[in-house]
Amino acid sequence: MSKIVNGTQLLGETLVIGIIFTIMFMIVHVLAMYVDAEFSMSHTGMAIAAFVAAALFHLSAEYSGWNRRFCDEYR
């Protein structure tokens, strides 16, 4: 059974995750702009960049142990 999450803690975690994801997206997007600027500015190019950034974020959270810490905290 999961714990009830404190609203302030949830907001703080959401902000941290949002900021980290935004930074990762910006890095992926800048790299994509070097490869093909026109495509990377299209809706499809932005969606692909967001997907890659989200995947990299999840993998980095998984391998750094950050994901396990949050999962264990809410059990």
Q: Does 57 map to a domain?
A: yes
The pLDDT of residue 75 is: 63
**What Cα–Cα distance (Å) separates residue 1 from each residue in 11, 14, 23, 73, 75?**
21, 22, 34, 12, 6
Q: Does 27 map to a domain?
A: no
Q: Does 16 map to a domain?
A: no
Helices (H) then strands (E): counts for the chain: 4, 0
Q: Does 6 map to a domain?
A: no
Q: Does 48 map to a domain?
A: yes
The structural domain count of the chain equals 1
Which domain, by its residues, includes 50?
43-75
Q: Does 51 map to a domain?
A: yes
- pTM score, two decimals? 0.79
Q: Provide the residue-wise pLDDT of the chain in tens; the chain has 75 residues.
A: 556 677 787 888 889 889 999 999 999 999 999 999 999 999 999 999 999 999 999 999 888 888 777 767 666
* Residue listed under structure tokens 């803690």: 9
